[in-house]
């Protein structure tokens, strides 16, 4: 990505997964830096990166705290002292901001779906996000919630649908289009970390095809986010990666090959369902205002946002 390239308001809104009005509010509040060319607002990539980093590292009286998988595994999160939402999509950052505006000091843990559910089971977080596909049922999340939260009544709440697919170089020179292409000798992939929804999608499809991980060049090379995976393809480090469509629009020199529409859901324990925090969260994601943040920027299907998928 050209870091010296001037970004428009719409481009920054697309990167942050918010509306243009939210960008104007961030500028007004001094949270996002910008400059003017004539009457037009412009941003540098550094301005955007600084905002994202700041939003991850400050405390809830300012912005949000970033918890890693090790924080949660080692017990470094303030259990039962804060309301923590797990997941990596920026839609959850916006949700956390809305909660703080409603006096709920929401924090964020940037970890994958599998680890999110484990952290919820261990009472280290209050909300887990999940996009884990079960090939036996061709359903998302329900089977994994049952397995990873055994004996714990839980509620799955739909947040959005996203498209998963291949990131490939511009023009798709190696004509990569199917899961079986990953086993070709002329292709090197970059994988996602264990527990990520994209990694589970890859592994489930390879299992169905009878392809072992040892047959795939680059299988053990891992990226920790959709952005890192897409950037690896853009820079020529890999021929292909798997991730969400939205990120393909934010990284130069790559194309997106759609493969699977996924459901991205939130999971809470049933005994916490009527707490003020969860009640406020549901009100926010069911609101017209919140849906508008994501309904017009592409990459998100918000038509079922806030519906109850299952009570287990």
Please determine, for residue 61, whether its predicted confidence score (pLDDT) is greater than 60.
no
Q: Band of the pLDDT at 154, cuts 50, 70, 90? A: very high
**In this structure, is residue 200 part of a structural domain?**
yes
Strand order in the sheet with 106-109: 66-67, 106-109, 83-86
Last residue of a domain, one of 34, 57, 80: 57
| Residue 85 near residue 95 (C-beta atoms within 8 A) | yes
Helix (H) or strand (E) holding 169: strand 154-169
% residues pLDDT > 90 (the chain): 55
- Which residue, among 1, 55, 57, has the nearest Cα to 29 in the 3D structure? 55
Return the pLDDT at 136. Answer: 94
- Residue range 227-262, pLDDT digits in tens: 889 989 999 999 999 999 988 888 889 999 999 999
- Point out the least confidently predicted range of 48-52, 55-59, 202-206: 55-59
pTM over 0.85: no
Q: DSSP string spanning 59-79?
A: -TTTS--EE-HHHHHTT-S-T
Position 107 in a domain: no
What is the CATH number for 186? 3.40.190.10
Domain limit, last residue, from 224, 244, 261 = 261
| Helix (H/G/I), strand (E/B), else coil: 162 | strand
Residue 59 has pLDDT above 50, yes or no: no
- Could you give the C-alpha distances from 64 to 34, 48, 72, 82, 158, in angstroms and in order? 22, 16, 16, 11, 23
251 located within any domain: yes
Which of the listed ranges 66-75, 81-90, 123-132 does the model predict with the highest average pLDDT? 123-132
Distance CA 201, CA 191 (A): 11
Residue 28 belongs to a domain:
yes
Q: Measure the CA angle with vertex 104, ends 300 and 131; round to 5°.
A: 30
Residue 288 lies in a domain: no
Taking CA atoms, 37 is separated from 8, 25, 47, 123, 195, in Å, by: 11, 19, 16, 50, 44
Number of domains composing the chain: 2
Spatial contact of 306 and 290, defined as CB atoms under 8 Å apart? no
The average confidence (pLDDT) of the chain is 85
Which of 48-52, 109-113, 275-279 has the lowest average pLDDT?
A: 48-52
Cα 269 from chain centre: 21
- Asked if 129 and 265 touch (Cβ cutoff 8 Å), the reply is yes
CATH number at residue 29: 1.10.1660
pLDDT at 165 over 80: yes
Q: Which domain holds residue 194?
A: 164-261
In a domain, 66, yes or no: no
Across 62-81, average pLDDT: 44
Is 222 inside any structural domain? yes
Does residue 96 lie within any of the structural domains?
A: no
- Reported as a single tens digit per residue, the pLDDT across 91-119 is 898 899 899 888 888 888 888 899 999 99
Q: Say yes or no to pLDDT of 186 above 70.
A: yes
82 vs 74, more confident:
82
Indicate the range of 161-170, 263-272, 284-293 predicted with least confidence: 284-293
User: Average pLDDT for residues 7-32, to the nearest whole number?
Assistant: 77
């Amino acid at each position: 990505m050209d870091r010296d390239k001037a970004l428009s308001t719409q481009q920054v809104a697309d990167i942050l997964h918010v509306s243009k009005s939210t960008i104007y509010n961030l500028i007004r509040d001094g949270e996002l830096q910008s400059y003017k060319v004539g009457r037009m607002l412009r941003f540098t990539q550094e301005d955007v990166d600084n905002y994202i980093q700041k939003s991850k590292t400050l405390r809830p009286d300012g912005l949000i705290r970033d918890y890693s998988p090790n924080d949660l595994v080692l017990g470094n999160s303030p259990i039962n002292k804060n309301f923590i939402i797990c997941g990596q999509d920026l839609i959850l950052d916006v949700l956390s901001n809305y909660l703080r505006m409603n006096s709920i000091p929401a924090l964020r843990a940037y970890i994958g779906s599998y680890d999110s559910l484990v952290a919820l089971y261990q009472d280290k977080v209050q909300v887990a996000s999940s996009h884990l596909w079960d090939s036996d049922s061709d359903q998302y999340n329900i089977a994994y919630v049952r397995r990873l939260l055994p004996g714990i009544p839980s509620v799955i709440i739909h947040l959005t649908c996203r498209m998963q697919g291949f990131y490939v170089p511009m023009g798709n020179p190696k004509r990569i289009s199917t899961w079986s292409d990953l086993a070709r000798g002329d292709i090197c992939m970059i994988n996602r970390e264990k527990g990520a929804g994209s990694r589970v999608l890859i592994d489930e499809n390879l299992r169905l095809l009878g392809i072992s991980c040892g047959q795939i060049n680059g299988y053990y090379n891992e990226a920790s986010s959709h952005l890192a995976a897409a950037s690896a393809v853009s820079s020529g480090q890999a021929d292909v990666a798997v991730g969400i469509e939205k990120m393909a629009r934010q990284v130069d020199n790559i194309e997106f090959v759609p493969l699977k529409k996924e459901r991205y859901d939130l999971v809470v324990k049933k005994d916490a369902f009527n707490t003020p925090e969860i009640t406020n969260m549901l009100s926010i994601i069911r609101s017209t205002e919140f849906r508008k943040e994501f309904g017009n920027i592409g990459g998100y299907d918000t038509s079922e946002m806030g519906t109850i998928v299952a009570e287990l």
